[in-house]
Amino acid sequence: MLSIDLTGKRAFVAGVGDDRGYGWAIVRALVQAGAAVRVGTWPPMLNIFTKSLERGKFDLSLPGGGKIEFEKIHPMDATFDVPEDVPEEIREDKRYRELSGYTIQEVADTLRDELGDGCLDILVHALANGPEVRKPLVDTSRAGYLAAVSVSAYSMVSLVQRFGPLMREGGSAVSLTYLAGERVVPGYGGGMSSAKAALESDTRTLAYEAGRRWGLRVNTISAGPLASRAAKAIGTIDRMVDYYRANSALPDVNTAEDVGNVAAFLCSPLSAAITGETLHVDMGYHIMGMPAEDQLGGG
């Protein structure tokens, strides 16, 4: 029987801070397929995340038995590439003061020091943040716009740049995007639509450059809206989910598990000939050219 088998593979998933988002669902799918998983967690979330794990507040169960186990949890702030980038006020912040090695380069160096070169097969970018996401683009400040693009798009470039040399031939890098990178989605502001458009464009270029340099495949998943804790920042996420359910080609909404399974596929040998793709996992919402709810309502 054809199945996804990641036994003997190691994954690094950047952007996991709770058990409700797409990042966690991807971790679950990768572990279920047999991969060893390390995660990178934003320093301000690190203590809450690790304490929740210790106290059994997260669902660690796997379908068919077993449970999620992390090889290691790394503090990681994708805003910063190297230690010199970290401003004094961040270094002295109480959530950072006792931590070290949380820039992207330092996390990559830690993996190399602990595991050696050629230690990684899978890289997942589940990072996004726009401090002004509730503002229309026309009202977004330069600082807010650049912050959104920095964390949500350039961080993928930085991850591939710094983790690529650690990856084995045939490795896979996957990120998460959203339809707002292609079409207008009112309420998804603050430069986040621009960041997703950049991420999708960079996926194609990185697929070529990282493919030629390290034999690495690079793809992105355009997932439908999910009412995760992080997505609550948008403000209209519940309305977006309801709209997708009413207007998708398949009249429902995708689950986090759907996205996790597709990520596992893209990270497996079964997708060895796929790279540079934006793969939509949204019940076919992206193909619709007009709202379906009126047509459905009319029988």
Segment 3-21, tens digit of pLDDT: 999 999 999 999 999 998 9
Instruction: Give the model's confidence band at 299: pLDDT under 50 very low, under 70 low, under 90 confident, else very high.
Output: very low
Instruction: Give the model's confidence band at 143: pLDDT under 50 very low, under 70 low, under 90 confident, else very high.
Output: very high
User: How many alpha carbons fall within 13 Å on the CB side of residue 189?
Assistant: 15
- Kindly report, residue by residue over 238-289, the tens digit of the pLDDT: 888 899 999 999 999 999 999 999 999 999 999 999 999 999 999 999 999 9
pLDDT of 168 = 96
As a whole number, mean pLDDT of residues 232-238 equals: 65
- Kindly report, residue by residue over 28-51, the tens digit of the pLDDT: 999 999 999 999 999 999 999 999
In this structure, the chain runs to a length of 299
Instruction: Give the model's confidence band at 228: pLDDT under 50 very low, under 70 low, under 90 confident, else very high.
Output: low
Share of the chain above pLDDT 70, in %: 95
Domains of the chain: 10-281 (3.40.50.720)
Share of the chain above pLDDT 90, in %: 88
Instruction: Give the model's confidence band at 1: pLDDT under 50 very low, under 70 low, under 90 confident, else very high.
Output: confident
On the question of pLDDT at 234 being above 80, the answer is no
Measured CA to CA, the distance from residue 277 to residue 269 in angstroms comes to 16
Residue 196 DSSP SS3: helix
- Kindly report, residue by residue over 186-211, the tens digit of the pLDDT: 989 999 999 999 999 999 999 999 99
What positions carry a catalytic annotation? 178, 188
Instruction: Give the model's confidence band at 237: pLDDT under 50 very low, under 70 low, under 90 confident, else very high.
Output: confident
pLDDT of 292 = 82
Measured CA to CA, the distance from residue 270 to residue 21 in angstroms comes to 25
Q: Compute the chain's Rg from CA coordinates.
A: 19
Average model confidence (pLDDT) across the chain: 94
pLDDT of 244 = 92
Contact (Cβ atoms closer than 8 angstroms) between residue 76 and residue 42: yes
On the question of pLDDT at 295 being above 70, the answer is no
Which of 14, 29, 260 is closest to 129 using CA atoms? 14
**What pTM did the predictor assign?**
0.94
